[in-house]
Structure 1
Amino acid sequence: MTEQIKIRREKQGDFREVFELNHIAFGQDNEAKLVDALRINQIAFVPELSIVATDNNKIVGHILFSKISIKDDKGNLNESLGLAPMAVRPEYQKCGIGGQLIRKGFEVAKELGFKSVIVLGHEHYYPKFGFQPADKWKIKAPFDVPSNVFMAIELATDGLKNISGTVVYPKEFETV
Structure 2
Amino acid sequence: MTTAFAPTPSPTNLPTLPDGWPIGSYDTYSEAQRAVDHLADENFPVQEVTIVGVEPMVVERVAARLTWGRVLGGGAASGAWLGLFVGLLLSLFTPGAGLGPILIGLGSGVVFGLASAAMRYGATRGQRDFVSHSQLVARRYDVLSKPRHAEQGRDLLARLAMRPVDAR
User: What interval of TM-score do these two structures reach, taking the shorter chain for normalisation?
Assistant: under 0.3
Higher relative contact order (CA 8 A, sep 6+): 2
More strand as a share of residues:
1
TM-score normalised by L of structure 1: 0.19
TM-score, length-scaled by structure 2: 0.20
